[in-house]
Amino acid sequence: GMTIVYKNSIDLFLYVVGSSYENELMLMSVLTCLFESLNHMLRKNVEKRWLLENMDGAFLVLDEIVDGGVILESDPQQVIQKVNFRADDGGLTEQSVAQVSLLRLILLVWNFPPWR
């Protein structure tokens, strides 16, 4: 009962999951934006190792694209610009990144528990 689109790159699979009523083209737009933004951020090394080493930036990218299940942005250039602005702002600390990461993980598990 879910609509799932995915894209793989070397050893990494990215999934975007929506309800069965979601528009597949919109989900694909989100997936493309996510992949292109990560591709730019990771300097064209979209692999599991590089993603894990730059997880804070990946969560910032995800935070700019989707918030609470609502699509905010689907243009990778806009996402990259906003993430660069937030990173250059200097207000980002290890603690705030950890809090954002934990919050995103909790929201992900809450919205898509494996037992559904």
The residue among 59, 46, 67, 52 whose CA lies nearest residue 96 is 59
State the helix-helix crossing angle for 55-65 and 24-41, rounded to 10 degrees: 150
Task: Render pLDDT for 20-77 as a digit per residue (tens, 0 to 9).
Answer: 998 999 999 999 999 999 999 888 888 888 888 888 888 899 999 998 888 999 999 9
CATH topology of domain 2-88: Beta-Lactamase (3.30.450)
Domain residue extents for the chain: 2-88
Chain mean pLDDT for the chain: 80
Task: Render pLDDT for 83-107 as a digit per residue (tens, 0 to 9).
Answer: 887 666 554 455 455 555 555 555 5
State the helix-helix crossing angle for 94-111 and 55-65, rounded to 10 degrees: 60
| Cα three-residue angle 64-29-91, rounded to 5 degrees | 10
Helices vs. strands in the chain: H and E counts, helices first: 5, 4
Report the relative pairing of strands 66-67 and 70-71 from DSSP bridges.
antiparallel
